[in-house]
């Protein structure tokens, strides 16, 4: 399946010059979503994972579905202030400011083997912050999985030392 053919491009969102990759069209196509999830399940079913770590918010969709299919735990990485118990946090730079993500302090430990999931790899800031939180708790990251990578933005460079898999790659704007 051509994943990019199932994703809608929205020009000038959220600001002029940005070509937003809207995955809701893929999610609304039951057959396409199932095909993505079948591939995810095949990729990780024998990986010995204990948890799937999903990044707010679209990483929750793929991550929770994968955790259910594998019969393992799902751990959310959320924006600051959204998790109710004791958390650890990591901040990262945005184009205009800073953002912070959090993870429950007791979500993972040194026996945890995880895949970190998000929908898109662009600048890599959110994924890098999430991985820092996971490793801070002692967990082993087997791989980072994204649906789409914008390879013309050097986000993968921020994830040096981690294995990264993208289902689809966009090479140019």
54-81 tens-digit pLDDT: 999 999 999 999 999 999 999 999 999 9
Examine the pLDDT at 154 and tell me if it is beyond 90: yes
Mean pLDDT taken over the chain = 96
Helix (H, G, I), strand (E, B) or coil at 107: coil
> For residues 141 and 131, what is the distance between their CA atoms, to the nearest angstrom?
8
Q: How far does Cα 137 stand from its chain's mean position?
A: 18
pLDDT computed for residue 57 by the predictor: 94
pLDDT computed for residue 94 by the predictor: 80
Q: How far apart are the first and last CA of the chain?
A: 21
Q: Please state which of the four CATH numbers 3.10.310.30, 2.30.30.240, 3.40.50.150, 3.40.50.2020 is assigned to the domain occupying 3-170.
A: 3.40.50.2020
Q: In the chain, at which residue ranges do the beta strands (DSSP E only) sit?
A: 8-11, 19-22, 51-55, 73-79, 87-94, 97-104, 113-121, 140-150, 164-170
Q: What are the two backbone dihedrals, phi and then psi, of residue 122, each rounded to the nearest 5 degrees?
A: -120, -90
pLDDT computed for residue 150 by the predictor: 96
Reported as a pLDDT band with limits 50, 70 and 90, residue 140 is very high
In percent, how much of the chain has pLDDT > 70?
99
pLDDT tens string 81-132: 999 999 999 999 887 789 999 999 999 999 999 999 999 999 999 999 999 9
pLDDT computed for residue 20 by the predictor: 93
The continuous run of DSSP H or E covering 41 comes out as helix 30-44
pLDDT computed for residue 108 by the predictor: 98
Q: Which residues are catalytic?
A: 58, 95
In percent, how much of the chain has pLDDT > 90?
93
Examine the pLDDT at 173 and tell me if it is beyond 80: no
| Tokens describing residue 156 | 């993968």
Taking the domains of the chain in order of start, what are their residue ranges? Answer: 3-170
């Amino acid at each position: 399946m051509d994943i990019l053919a199932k994703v809608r491009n929205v020009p000038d969102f959220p600001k002029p010059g940005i070509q937003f990759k809207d995955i809701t069209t893929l999610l609304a196509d039951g057959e396409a979503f199932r095909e993505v999830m079948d591939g995810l399940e095949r990729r990780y079913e024998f990986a010995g994972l204990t948890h799937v770590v999903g990044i707010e918010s679209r990483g929750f969709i793929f991550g929770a579905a994968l955790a259910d299919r594998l019969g393992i735990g799902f751990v959310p990485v959320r924006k600051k202030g959204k998790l109710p118990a004791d958390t650890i946090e990591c901040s990262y730079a945005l184009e205009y400011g800073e953002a912070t993500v959090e993870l429950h302090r007791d979500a993972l430990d040194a026996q945890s083997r995880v895949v970190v999931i998000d929908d898109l790899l662009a600048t890599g800031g959110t994924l890098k912050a999430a991985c820092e939180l996971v490793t801070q708790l002692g967990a082993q990251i087997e791989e980072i999985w994204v649906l789409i990578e914008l390879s013309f933005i050097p986000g993968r460079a921020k994830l040096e030392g981690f294995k990264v898999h993208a289902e689809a790659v966009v090479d140019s704007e």
